[in-house]
Chain A
Amino acid sequence: MSQLIKNGAAAADSWKTLEIGEGETPETLALPAGDVIFPLAVWQARKSELAGRERLGLLLQPDDKVEDVAADVARFALIAVNFPKFVDGRGYSTAALLRQRYGYTGELRAVGNVLHDQLFFMKRVGFDSYALTDGKNLAYAIERGFSPFGDAYQGATDQPQPYFRRRA
């Protein structure tokens, strides 16, 4: 469970994440209806069955190669990037690549161990929704988590121009 933050506010979550259960394989498991976030392996195995859906979600794990879905990103209404542990920073590169290189414009959601003190970095690399870990102070995260710094030196997704190019 988690608490969703979107557009700077708490939001309801219409998406369910499909988990591959024990004894199930991406090739054979049942594909539920509705707003579903599919693991990469399921998407890859069942592309043609899923193709007709109006809203598709994709889940990327830290070691999933974003290059594998580069040609498909326009198909997804939501891509969730998992942070199994908040100290595993691979998801920041995944997000930056999706936004900057592969032109993904849909909802980009940080899921997993998503905490207050990483929200600023997540926003900078291109996330726009955040599944804050349950039990954490949602209101305070919304109030302070995204804005510890009023500006930044480097270019990133939210501001591609580094500060030195924006000096008067």
Chain B
Amino acid sequence: MYKYDAIDRQLINERVAQFRDQVHRWKAGELADDEFRPLRLQNGLYIQRHAPMFRIAVPYGMLNSAQLRAMASVARKYDRGYGHFTTRHNLQLNWPKIEDVPEILAELAEVEVHAIQTSGNCLRNITTDQFAGVAADEIIDPRPLAEIMRQWTTFHPEFAFLPRKFKIAISGTKEDRAVTWFHDIGLHLKVVDGQVGFTVIVGGGLGRTPIRGEVIRDFLPWQDILSYCEAVLRVYNRYGRRDNAYKARIKILVQALGIDAFRAQVEAEWAHGKGGPMTITQAEYDRVAAHFTAPTYETVGDVELPDEKPFLNWLVRNTHAHKVPGYAAVTLSLKKHGIAPGDITSEQMDVVADLADRYSFGELRISHEQNIILADVKQTDLHAVWQQARAAGLATPNIGLLTGMICCPGGDFCDLANAKSIPIANAIQARFDDLDYLFDIGEIDLNISGCMNACGHHHVGHIGVLGVDKNDAEFYQVTLGGRQGNDAKLGKVIGPSFAADEMPDAVEKIIQVYLESRHEDERFIDTFDRIGIDPFKNRVYEGRAHGKAKAAQKEAA
């Protein structure tokens, strides 16, 4: 894992001092609220429904045990003893005091953690695959280039006040696990004729106007990624819309110009930067890559694992193939039924840090599905990890299953939300609390967002749930058939939205149609692709009044 050197330490310490000074000037009335707002946002600080929300960066999802312990400590000391992992790898605290944030930043800086550019209209945290470096299907480890890009984005002077936020994701595997088709820039590492480079995708995004990105360059040598991104960013900074925040993302510019015209502008701009000083040197790549070498794996002999059903269930769902024989990657589920998905207490963070130290070389990763991964566990240790994780409530065997859902904080916490999302998640978890039933249903992505900003990635859930506001009441729109991965696409709206208390029934009916219609070994999404949306629609709205009938029913009531 990357370790800071003198320049990295200097810059984050200077950042803490800068923010301390900004908070001081804001409190003294020298900085108006409007002037302070983008400054605090670029340090991850929102003003939310109940209190400020503070978002701590987890660059490309990598953490070490000391960093997680520091997060546990600040959550305990300055907040209510828990945090929430987001779909972009970051940790959110929901109740800190603004005045405490400089102190929190100072404590985090000691373990090389910061909140730089975790919010605001700037270059955001770069995300990647939670199995980077260990995935069996990996082509190139994306982390060295992710770190080089992290440094490049940090305090970039030209792109600190973009029209809107800008998110980059990198995938280094055959199967895309970084949602790269739905980022402002999505990068796929690949090798062509012995040369390493990227397929560059631009203009994707979820949110209010979900758009699948388009390929702007089929192959870009890795050395050129910074100068090429600067060209994309410069075109966007100059010509992206600034008159309407809802139309300010790069996807709108790309759609307005068309990908070919946008590509031509970027290429014309890049002609000036190509081969210039921002070209990454082999020496720099080697320097950074040296931090991401494989740990000293042991030779693990024949593994005999106990034949206990709960453990075997966990093995099936929560462990993953590793490129080194005798090892596995483990997902610690933050999706225990009845808990807000992605939430974790300080005590649990400490347990996870201990597990990482004991069983996984002191390192861990955060996934965009809001879980924690121990990437390098010996198979002979799996039973011990399972027992300790289970004791801490971190071993729910539901990864990839219906209740392992992605869910944003929603209307309980977030100012932007139209509706609550956590109670919907919990109600569905309660309905599907039977493990055998969950296993029988099998692999399915259920994603819930409390508003069209889509932090819960509802568009790419096999079942997507979107909270909407209708005449000051909370309703939920359901989409089917969305997916992430190489064939990423947006779900289709099934029909009129549902009240909160109708949601568990609606999901159950969708599942019933699947169970009745599936062929052997067909996952939900396969059945959906084969039979289409209509059977689901018919079942869900069967006997449900709508249109004139509904109006008449209301009248009668």
Contact = CB atoms under 8 A, between A and B. Distances in A.
The answer to whether A binds B is yes
Interface of A: 62, 86-90, 92-93, 96, 100-101, 115-118, 120-122, 124-125, 136-137, 144, 148-156, 160-165, 167
Contacts of A152: 11, 155, 157
Contact of B35 (A86, A101, A150, A155): A86
A125 B155 CA distance: 12
Nearest to B284: A164
17 contacts: A86-B161, A87-B121, A89-B158, A89-B160, A89-B162, A92-B158, A92-B159, A92-B160, A93-B237, A121-B160, A137-B30, A151-B7, A153-B152, A163-B151, A164-B148, A165-B281, A167-B283
B157 A124 contact: yes
Contacts of A167: 283-284, 287
Contacts of B152: 153-154, 162
Contact of B11 (A93, A120, A151): A151
Contact of A89 (B21, B226, B237): B237
Contacts of A122: 157
A161 B277 contact: yes
A162 B156 CA distance: 11
A156 B18 CA distance: 21
B11 A162 contact: no
Contacts of B238: 90, 93
A74 B18 CA distance: 37
Contact of A156 (B38, B151, B157): B157
A92 B14 contact: no
A155 B121 contact: no
B154 interface: yes
A137 B159 CA distance: 25
Contacts of B430: none
A121 B22 CA distance: 16
B242 interface: yes
B17 interface: yes
Nearest to A90: B238
Contacts of B272: 100-101
Contacts of B14: 148-150
Given A101-B272, A117-B39, A125 B158 contact: yes
Contacts of A150: 10, 14
Given A117-B39, A122-B157, A149-B155, 9 more contacts: A87-B161, A90-B237, A93-B158, A148-B17, A149-B15, A152-B11, A152-B157, A153-B152, A162-B226
Given A93-B238, A150-B10, A151-B11, A164 B281 contact: yes
Nearest to A161: B277
B524 to A, nearest CB: 44
B280 interface: yes
A89 B280 contact: no
B278 interface: yes
Given A137-B30, A148-B18, A154-B152, A92 B278 contact: no
Contacts, number: 107
B21 A144 contact: yes
A96 B273 CA distance: 12
The bracket for how many chain B residues form the interface is 35 or more
Main secondary structure of the interface of A (DSSP, over half): loop
B281 A92 contact: no
A14 B161 CA distance: 30
B158 A156 contact: yes
Name which of B156, B161, B276 has the most chain A CB atoms within 10 A of its CB.
B161
Nearest to A122: B157
Contacts of B17: 148
A62 B237 CA distance: 11
Contacts of B22: 117
Contacts of A164: 148, 151, 280-281, 283-284, 287
A99 to B, nearest CB: 11
B234 interface: yes
Contacts of B158: 89, 92-93, 96, 121, 125, 156
Nearest to B285: A164
Contacts of A125: 157-158
B161 A155 contact: no
Contact of A88 (B21, B25, B154, B161): B161
Name which of B31, B154, B238 has the most chain A CB atoms within 10 A of its CB.
B238
A102 to B, nearest CB: 11
Name which of A87, A118, A156 has the most chain B CB atoms within 10 A of its CB.
A87
A160 B277 contact: yes
Nearest to A87: B161
A149 B11 contact: yes
Given A115-B35, A164-B281, A165-B281, A154 B157 contact: yes
B121 A120 contact: no
A153 B155 contact: yes
B39 to A, nearest CB: 6
A154 B278 contact: yes
Given A150-B14, A153-B152, A89 B161 contact: yes
A65 B480 CA distance: 45
Contact of B151 (A115, A153, A160): A153
A162 B160 contact: no
Contacts of B234: 93, 96
Nearest to A159: B277
A115 B161 CA distance: 13
Contacts of B237: 89-90, 92-93
A33 B265 CA distance: 40
A124 B158 CA distance: 8
B242 A88 contact: yes
Contact of B156 (A115, A148, A154, A163): A154
Contacts of A120: 157
Given A162-B278, A163-B7, A92 B157 contact: yes
A150 B30 CA distance: 24
Contacts of B156: 154
Nearest to B234: A93
Contacts of B160: 89, 92, 118, 121
Nearest to A115: B35
Nearest to B8: A153
Name which of A93, A100, A136 has the most chain B CB atoms within 10 A of its CB.
A93
Contacts of B159: 89, 92
Contacts of A124: 157
A124 to B, nearest CB: 4
Lowest 7 A-B CB distances belong to which pairs? Answer: A89-B161, A124-B157, A164-B284, A121-B157, A148-B18, A153-B151, A155-B277
B257 to A, nearest CB: 16
Contacts of B280: 164
